[in-house]
Amino acid sequence: MTAAQRPPAGGRAAGEARRIGLLVGGLVLLAAVAVVSIGVGAHRVPPAEVVRALFDYRGTNDHVIVRDVRAPRALLAAAVGAALAVGGALIQTLARNPLAEPGILGVTAGAGFAVTVGSALGLAGGQGGQLLCAVAGSVLAALLVLAVGRRAPLRLVLTGVALTAVLGGIALGLRLMNPDVFDAYRFWSVGTLAGREQEPLTLPLAAIGVCLLAALALGRSLNVLALGESVAQTLGAGVARTQIVTLVLITVLSGAATAVAGPILFVGLIVPHLARRPAAGSAPWLMAYSMVLGPILLLAADTAARVLLPTGEMPVAIVTAFLGGPMLIWTVRRYGAGAL
Amino acid sequence: MFTRRSTGLVGALALALTLSACGSSDNDADTPGKNDTRVFTADNGKVTIPAHPERVVATGYAVPTLIEAGAPLVGISSWKRGEPMMDDKELATYKKLTKVAGEQASETNYEAIAEAKPDLIVLGVPAPVLGDIDMKRLKSIAPVVAVGPMLPTQWREVSRKHADAAGVLAAYDTMKTTYETKAAELKKKYQSVLPQLKLGHVGSYGDTSKGTFQREFNGSWGTNVAQDIGANYYGKVKKPGPGSKSVSEYPSMEELGDSLGQADAITYSVNADGSVPPSVKAVLDSKLWQNLPAVKKKMTFPIAYTEAATYSDALKTLDAIDTSFAPLLAK
């Protein structure tokens, strides 16, 4: 938080009202995007039937599509979007690095490595097996990075980058030597929500939900930590404890999101930048806005992924990549380097 | 530089082979017709090949056909997709033979082919894939015959050409006759039930990451053998494309009801061991599948060996279909 970003003392109440207004506006937009997401797809379902499917379920094909395919998929998109966005906000705040994103902890590389090894050993045949391998890999990779680099943000980033390179290299070698493994990995490595809503998602979604609440609760401690470790210690904050809890949250959020949807880049990088300006230096508001903007971005991208191509659906990760690049450039140009 | 050296090496090998062949011609002169040649029409044009080849290299679809027919193979490409359909003897032969290429045409090992000293190279790859192969380099080693399927049903004509080129047509025709006899028997067995059914087929090449499934129509990999016993897969591809896209399509899972709602019975591809491939399992697990009339009437039938590309493979497909369709006769 900088002096320039901090609102003047006299306008604090007005600033708070503005933040609440923006949050409510964001929630309304999120609801609208979710409704569109549930209403749009390869099979045309009339709007009235969409409403009936939600409130008067009869088990027809239209109702099954809305209630059992699109609604769970929209929920999954919202959860993954929120997890990646909040994970990104946490890592950028902790590392004090505007280009940090959850993958920097080696989570994505760890998941990919575990899926590759699991496929080679015959443990990751189905989507369920891949999910378990991805969870285990992301958690182990993050633990390794935390164990080596937790003493300093820079060391943490370097450890994550190094581990990502090592795991990526070994996994690539394994895939090149075994075409079947390459084939299995190919399906997982495309970040997508299609079909993933049919997987057992209770545990990952519950973990994401708990971590999102914890991230909100951690906001005030992060505010203090953002002043710098020395200042935070002077103010009596539990710096080490806050750092460890933050790292655990990042690991679980990004690990769970990557495990259920595969690697989806840019959401964790771009959303915190979009949320930072209205949050005006407040970590709790940064978390709250990220929690709303992440789902909006991923739901919109997932809806676009279903309708953009006449030949069929494309992976949502491709859409986020297309959206993320220009949005990052727009953010930099709109707010200048200071926004970052 | 590497290419030039390699080309030079192959050229030297080819020269050595030629000299070696000239040197041994005296010894072979006693064998009637050994040095005879004939002109063979293939995808790559008219090719002069030995009338009785003795050292054959086979790749792609030619591999299973020529192993089954007992061709004089000295090198083959990898053909993993066919391994589950090989019997013990064929699998032993397949594993013993030198691998001169990988699964992809681009993985061709030209020096290994030259070392195998073939007198005929049979490429079993579709014509568009020939662009991945250095034909000039191969031709410097031995005559090259390229014959590959453009449509799934063409495995019949293609495999016959492979056998013809390799001089093992008699053994091939024996297998063909066995298959046709068996198919005729089953056609008679199911004639009271099968032709009346509107069938749909779910193939194993759906892409779960795109939320699609594979619907196969008449003339596709999963349906063409069943058609030989009287099955009829209704409908046609909405937007036909080249090759197999003219007989199969990839609708969204949301369109499962639209696509297969009219089917009286549905068949689906399973692995050789009976396990269900992930892309098919995603379909079978969906509630939309449970809503299909055919599924509610329990008119669904798994079919193994749907990748059959030889008559010997297709015999296994016939057995699998017979086992799966047997309950139809009791209904």
Tokens of A109: 């590389």
Residues 6+ apart with CB under 8 A from A321: A265, A266
Question: Are B37 and B51 within 8 A, CB to CB?
Answer: yes
Report pLDDT for B10.
Answer: 40
The verdict on a CB contact (< 8 Å) between A195 and B80 is no
Residues in A closer than 8 angstroms to B102, CB to CB, are 179
Largest pairwise CA distance in chain A: 66
Quickly state the pLDDT bin for B34 (edges 50, 70, 90).
low
Report pLDDT for B21.
Answer: 38
How many alpha carbons lie under 13 Å from residue A15 in its C-beta half-sphere? 15
Q: How far does the CA of residue B261 sit from the closest CA of chain A (Å)? A: 10
Give the dihedral of Cα atoms B124, B128, B129, B132; nearest 10 deg. Answer: 140
**Which amino acid does the sequence have at A163?**
L
Residues in chain A: 340
Give ranges for CATH 3.40.50.1980 in chain B: 2-167, 189-330
Q: Is B232 on the interface with A (CB under 8 A)?
A: no
Domain ranges of chain A: 9-339
**Which amino acid does the sequence have at A304?**
A
Question: Are B49 and B40 within 8 A, CB to CB?
Answer: yes
Residues in B closer than 8 angstroms to A68, CB to CB, are 286-287
Q: Is A68 on the interface with B (CB under 8 A)?
A: yes
Q: Is A182 on the interface with B (CB under 8 A)?
A: no
- Superfamily of domain B189-330 in the CATH hierarchy: Nitrogenase molybdenum iron protein domain (3.40.50.1980)
Q: What is the CATH number of domain B2-167?
A: 3.40.50.1980
Quickly state the pLDDT bin for B11 (edges 50, 70, 90).
very low
Mean pLDDT of A244-270: 86
* Cα(B5)–Cα(A213) distance, integer angstroms: 65
**pLDDT for B35 beyond 60:** yes
Residues 6+ apart with CB under 8 A from B2: none
Quickly state the pLDDT bin for A331 (edges 50, 70, 90).
low
Question: Are A65 and B287 within 8 A, CB to CB?
Answer: no
Residue A195 is nearest to which of B253, B287, B288, comparing CB atoms? B253
Mean pLDDT of A11-17: 77
Q: How far does the CA of residue B283 sit from the closest CA of chain A (Å)? A: 10
Residue B252 is nearest to which of A43, A61, A190, comparing CB atoms? A43
The verdict on a CB contact (< 8 Å) between A198 and B103 is no
Q: Is B209 on the interface with A (CB under 8 A)?
A: yes
Q: Is A122 on the interface with B (CB under 8 A)?
A: no
More confident residue, A43 or B320: B320
More confident residue, A213 or A14: A213
pLDDT tens for each residue of B198-213 = 999 999 988 877 788 9
Number of other residues whose CB lies within 10 A of the CB of residue A304: 19
Q: How far does the CA of residue B205 sit from the closest CA of chain A (Å)? A: 12
* Residue B61, helix vs strand vs coil: coil
Residue A229's Cβ-count burial label (10 Å; 0-12, 13-18, 19+) is: middle
* Cα(B159)–Cα(B311) distance, integer angstroms: 9
pLDDT tens for each residue of A138-182 = 888 888 887 887 777 778 788 888 999 999 999 899 888 887 788
Class of the CATH-defined domain A9-339: mainly alpha
Residues 6+ apart with CB under 8 A from B122: B56, B57, B58, B59, B62, B66, B145, B147, B162, B165, B166
Question: Are A95 and A152 within 8 A, CB to CB?
Answer: no
Q: Angle of helix A107-120 relative to helix A153-177, nearest 10 degrees? A: 20
* Residue B300, helix vs strand vs coil: strand
Residues in chain B: 331
**pLDDT for B273 beyond 80:** yes
Residues 6+ apart with CB under 8 A from B308: B85, B155, B221, B225, B314, B316, B317
Residue A127 is nearest to which of B210, B261, B278, comparing CB atoms? B278
Report pLDDT for B271.
Answer: 93
Tokens of B244: 């197999």
The verdict on a CB contact (< 8 Å) between B208 and A127 is yes
Q: Is the ipTM value over 0.85, yes or no?
A: no
More confident residue, B302 or A305: B302
The B residues from 285 to 304 touching A (CB cutoff 8 Å) are 285-288, 291
The verdict on a CB contact (< 8 Å) between B210 and A194 is yes
Residues in A closer than 8 angstroms to B208, CB to CB, are 127, 187, 194-195
Largest pairwise CA distance in chain B: 74
Count, in order, helices (H) and strands (E) of chain B: 13, 12
Give one word for A235, left, alpha or beta, with left for phi > 0 and alpha for psi -120 to 50.
alpha
Report strand pairing: B99-101 vs B144-146.
unpaired
Number of other residues whose CB lies within 10 A of the CB of residue A183: 11
**pLDDT for A11 beyond 90:** no
pLDDT tens for each residue of B296-316 = 999 999 999 998 999 999 999
The verdict on a CB contact (< 8 Å) between B253 and A126 is no
Instruction: Compute the mean pLDDT over every residue in chain A, rounded to the nearest whole number.
Output: 84
Q: How far does the CA of residue B114 sit from the closest CA of chain A (Å)? A: 24
Give the dihedral of Cα atoms A90, A95, A96, A102; nearest 10 deg. Answer: -50
**pLDDT for B43 beyond 90:** yes
Quickly state the pLDDT bin for A26 (edges 50, 70, 90).
very high
- The model carries a pTM of 0.77
